[in-house]
Amino acid sequence: MEDKHFCCQGCKTVFEILNENDLCEYYSFDKNPGVSLRYVSDESFAYLDEAAIRKKIAEFDSDSFSRVRFYVPAIHCISCIWLLENLQRLQKGILKSEVNFSGKSVRIDFNPKEIAFSKVARLLTSLGYAPKINLKTEELPNSVGFNKSLVIKLAIAGVGFGHIMLLSFPEYLGLDGTDEYLQRIFSYINIALAIPVTFYSGREYFENAWKSFAQRQINIDVPIAVGLFALFFRSVYDILWNVGPGYLDSLAGLVFFLLIGRWFQSKTYENLAFDRDYKSYFPLAVQKLVDSEWKPILVYELSPEDMIRIRNNEIVPADSLLESEAAYLDYSFVTGESKPVRTVKGDWVYAGGRLIGQPIELVVKKRTSQSHLTSLWNEAAFQKPEEGKYKRIIDKAARAFTWVVLLIAVVTGVTWYFYDASRMWLVLTSVLMVACPCALALAAPFTYGNMVRIFGRHGFYLKNADVIERMASIDSIVFDKTGTITHGANTVKFVGLIDDYELAWVKILTAASTHPLSSLITKSIMSHSIVEIENFKERLGSRVEGYIKGAYIKVGSAEYTGGKDPVIDASRVFVSINGEPRGYFQIETSVRPQVGEVVSKLGKRVVALLSGDSNGESNRMKHIFQEYTKLLFNQSPHDKLGFVSSLQQSNSKVMMIGDGLNDSGALQQSDVGIAVTDNAGVFNPACDGILAGKQLGLLDKFLTLSKTSIVIVKIGFGISFFYNLIALSFAIGGFLTPLTAAILMPISSMSVVGFSTVAVMWVAKQTFKEAK
Amino acid sequence: MLIIILLISISLTIAIFFLVAFVWSMKSGQFDDTYGPSVRMLFEDKKKTKSPKP
């Protein structure tokens, strides 16, 4: 390749294509052309050729000419524009392509007779510009990157404001009586200018106020709408009845600055936005068939026609068709009905169903969205009662505050009426403007939202922002053992008599289970066999059984399989075939390296260790945990739940840390339930957070950070109140014009948002710096 | 003083004309992509250098 070096096969392919077509100029535009591989996926896009879908996404579609606009998030530099606009040279059939850089989209005209829809999408993907296609919303993400209507409103308000000021000059400078007719003409022109400014540019405030009245509530736009309304009609009255010149200059200026404030605010929010990006979602993985091998891939990389395999207790990630003979699915996450539904080959299986029984294979039919699964996670059934305490307080406070503001405004207005009636309207308006408690409502969502994002970046994925609030109040921590404290195995060996065939059967059985010990056994057995299991059953946390080739195999605890339990310091899993005990797997699990340190850091908060296994490893656990930690073995899922709720009855706020399999009841019962996992897979909506196994050592840091978040929110409240109090007292005294009030208001909101964001980032940086 | 009224009506007309022009340009999408066109003019259709065919 002309002694050139490439980082990956993808870049080499791109270079080959470019070189072939003499488009190497691509490499002279930027120092580092090419794109990050983040967005590259291997979707087939075959669904784009469906007539119905084509109709949906194409801007224009006929037999010989189609126009489509793809949203391509990977567009990032001048080389991208150049490459994407030369598509017609790379591919016959493409007529023209045009990039919208700000909107990160590309519009392609092509001849569908020569190149299929799906092929266009594949071409883009092969170049590293995978289009993002969302069939649900149909609309592309905001293609301009800013709010057009706000800009237009701003322009109209600006023009109106400027001219009203200009025409008010005679008033400012004082004209003598002979020119009174001029003044009246100017005033009438002012009214004409003020109408679009008030009722077009300021429309949103009236609409919001009206909506809140319709819902018999009151929101923070009400005082503003009242202020605008009062100023406008008072001015019109003054002018028409020749009482005075009115306050139209103030009114127009007010609208103008309110809109500027909005513009700045939206810019600030955009930059500090805490929208969960894909990084703060848990990277849910699923087994996909790639070249006759099962490989874990991320759920949002699934595409239609992919073959996936779901194991017992795993959740179906996307709407699919069943490929295996039959399956039982539990749709309780979706419908609340916990009775499993029997599904046979060729039937639909819906996202969110949980498999009960032996593994099944599915053909994905619809693309899935991670946000759908997250919304499942936030289903009402899994909500905890005290969720959103602060939110409720803020809502209440904001509402009460609005009434207080209106009351203060009325009292101030009446007082000024007797004191200096000519200034009453201006003072009234300033009071209404400045007292708006909008900053109050922003402190908590921005602080928690940013915290959730930072946690996500460190491998701790929270269900929602409210969890942080609850984490801050935790005083007791309960650990699960297998899969949480221990992980992986140093040695797995079979003690007893078993041949390779039978071992392979055992492997099939354990592979169907998601229990951590099962996966260890599966990994350790080398022999292979392709047989179907019949009558597969798994009781969570203790045993699996099934018929393989007529042999009835049970894997599980000693009592269950009828084996004898020798006393040694390791976990044991027993096997029986046709009721005859064959021996046991002796598994010496390895303790996660960070556990010792984090347990000692958490100190007295670590209340108990619950294990579903026998007490074979109790000696090792005693080394890790202090004597005040209770070590309980042979705990059924029910016992674990009972233990957590008894702790809660003694007024403890409990955090349960488990593997999310045999302790989901306890996770749900606890105040904060956290599932620790290593390579994703099992998705348990009962938990509040998912922690990547290798980050367990940071647990104490996460707890400290959530406490700090509460402090930050409180400081934010303080700042907001401080602003309102100071500004309000100035406004009541008549020292604040409505104009200044309109400028101050967004500044206060922005400073609260800025403070909480910067504080969260600084605190997080300090905390995690130590960790490294 | 009539001249002032005349001047004001002219100035208002011009201002409103420009406002309308701005709103139109905004709505017709002229501000949709403020970066693309600035670099697009730099691209040139390079003649094939390797195989100069007539």
pLDDT digits (tens, 9 = 90+) for A559-600: 666 666 555 556 778 888 887 888 888 777 777 887 888 888
Q: Is residue A715 part of a domain?
A: no
Quote the pLDDT of residue A292.
75
Quote the pLDDT of residue A369.
58
Note whether B43 contacts A: Cβ–Cβ < 8 A.
yes
Q: Is residue A761 part of a domain?
A: no
Distance CA(A601)–CA(A507), nearest Å, equals: 39
* A560 plus A586 within the same structural domain: yes
Look up the ipTM and state it: 0.81
DSSP letters along A122-149, please?
A: HHHHHTT-PPB--TTT-SPS-SSSS-HH
Nearest CB to B26; choose among A25, A101, A151: A151
Q: Give the length of chain B.
A: 54
Within 10 Å of residue A569's Cβ, how many Cβ atoms? 11
Bridge partners for A631 per DSSP:
A609
CB-based contact A584:A495 (threshold 8 Å): yes
Distance CA(A696)–CA(A485), nearest Å, equals: 9
Distance CA(A756)–CA(A451), nearest Å, equals: 10
Phi then psi for residue A356, to 5 deg, are -115, 120
User: Per the structure block, which two tokens stand in for A353?
Assistant: 């169903």
Distance CA(A685)–CA(A472), nearest Å, equals: 21
CATH number, position A461:
3.40.50.1000
CATH number, position A116:
3.30.70.100
* A217 plus A322 within the same structural domain: no
* A38 plus A81 within the same structural domain: yes
Average pLDDT over residues A402-424: 84
Distance from CA of B34 to the nearest CA of A (A): 7
* A473 plus A602 within the same structural domain: yes
Average pLDDT, chain A: 76
Q: Is residue A602 part of a domain?
A: yes
Cross-chain Cβ contact A152/B23 below 8 Å: yes
Note whether A24 contacts B: Cβ–Cβ < 8 A.
no
Q: Which residue of A has its CA nearest to B18?
A: A159
Distance CA(A614)–CA(A252), nearest Å, equals: 77
User: Per the structure block, which two tokens stand in for A348?
Assistant: 């639909």
% of residues, chain A, pLDDT over 70: 75
Q: Is residue A90 part of a domain?
A: yes
Quote the pLDDT of residue A771.
59
pLDDT band at A341 (very low <50, low <70, confident <90, very high): confident
Of the given ranges (A120-134, A157-171, A703-717), which has the lowest mean pLDDT?
Answer: A120-134
pLDDT in tens, A466-508: 788 888 888 889 888 777 777 766 677 777 777 777 777 787 7
Quote the pLDDT of residue B19.
94
A9 Cβ contact list (under 8 Å, min separation 6):
none
Of the given ranges (A3-12, A522-531, A743-752), which has the lowest mean pLDDT?
Answer: A3-12
Cross-chain Cβ contact B32/A144 below 8 Å: yes
Quote the pLDDT of residue A410.
87
A299 Cβ contact list (under 8 Å, min separation 6):
A284, A285, A286, A317, A318, A368, A370, A373
Residue type, A410: V
* A17 plus A96 within the same structural domain: yes
CATH number, position A576:
3.40.1110.10
Q: Is the pLDDT of residue A159 over 90?
A: yes
| A81 contacts on B by Cβ (under 8 Å) | 36, 39-40
Phi then psi for residue A305, to 5 deg, are 75, 0
Nearest CB to A163; choose among B12, B22, B33: B12
Phi then psi for residue A91, to 5 deg, are -135, 125
Distance CA(A340)–CA(A356), nearest Å, equals: 8
* A575 plus A631 within the same structural domain: no
Quote the pLDDT of residue A158.
93
A483: region left, alpha or beta (phi > 0 left; psi from -120 to 50 alpha): left
Model confidence, pTM: 0.61
Distance CA(A603)–CA(B41), nearest Å, equals: 66
Quote the pLDDT of residue A275.
45
Nearest CB to A78; choose among B22, B39, B46: B39
Determine the residue among A81, A154, A163 to mutate to test chain B binding: the one whose Cβ has the most chain B Cβ atoms within 10 Å: A81
Quote the pLDDT of residue A39.
40
Distance CA(A343)–CA(A479), nearest Å, equals: 37
Note whether A102 contacts B: Cβ–Cβ < 8 A.
yes
From A377, A406, A439, give the residue that closes a domain: A377
Note whether B49 contacts A: Cβ–Cβ < 8 A.
yes
Quote the pLDDT of residue A155.
93
Quote the pLDDT of residue A421.
79
Of A688, A684, A685, A683, residue with least CA distance to A671: A688
pLDDT in tens, A699-726: 888 999 999 998 998 898 888 888 878 8
CATH number, position A287:
2.70.150.10
3-state SS class at A5: coil
Nearest CB to B32; choose among A81, A102, A159: A102
Buried b (16+ CB within 10 A) or exposed e, A636-656: ebeebbebbeebeeeebbbbb
Which range of A359-373, A415-429, A568-582, A736-750 scores highest in mean pLDDT? It is A415-429
pLDDT in tens, A45-91: 666 776 766 776 777 777 778 888 887 777 777 777 877 888 887 77
pLDDT in tens, A634-683: 777 778 888 888 888 888 888 988 876 667 778 878 888 888 877 555 55
Of A460, A479, A451, residue with least CA distance to A763: A451
Residue type, A415: T
Note whether A156 contacts B: Cβ–Cβ < 8 A.
yes
Note whether A189 contacts B: Cβ–Cβ < 8 A.
yes
Nearest CB to B19; choose among A143, A148, A155: A155
Determine the residue among B2, B4, B22, B33 to mutate to test chain A binding: the one whose Cβ has the most chain A Cβ atoms within 10 Å: B33
Distance from CA of A49 to the nearest CA of B (A): 30
pLDDT in tens, A499-557: 777 777 787 777 777 677 777 777 777 776 667 777 777 765 567 888 877 778 888 77
Q: Which residue of B has its CA nearest to A25?
A: B46
Structural domain boundaries, residue A371: 280-377
Nearest CB to A159; choose among B19, B35, B39: B19
Note whether B12 contacts A: Cβ–Cβ < 8 A.
yes
* A321 plus A291 within the same structural domain: yes
Average pLDDT over residues A323-350: 74
Distance from CA of B6 to the nearest CA of A (A): 12
* A242 plus A202 within the same structural domain: yes
pLDDT band at A280 (very low <50, low <70, confident <90, very high): very low
Of A416, A435, A436, residue with least CA distance to A425: A416
Q: Is residue A462 part of a domain?
A: yes
Q: Is the pLDDT of residue A384 over 60?
A: no
| B8 contacts on A by Cβ (under 8 Å) | 167, 189
Alpha-helix residue ranges (DSSP H) falling in A421-557: 424-434, 438-457, 466-471, 500-511, 516-524
More confident of the two residues A103 and A200: A200
Q: Is residue A578 part of a domain?
A: yes
* A495 plus A535 within the same structural domain: yes
pLDDT band at A38 (very low <50, low <70, confident <90, very high): very low
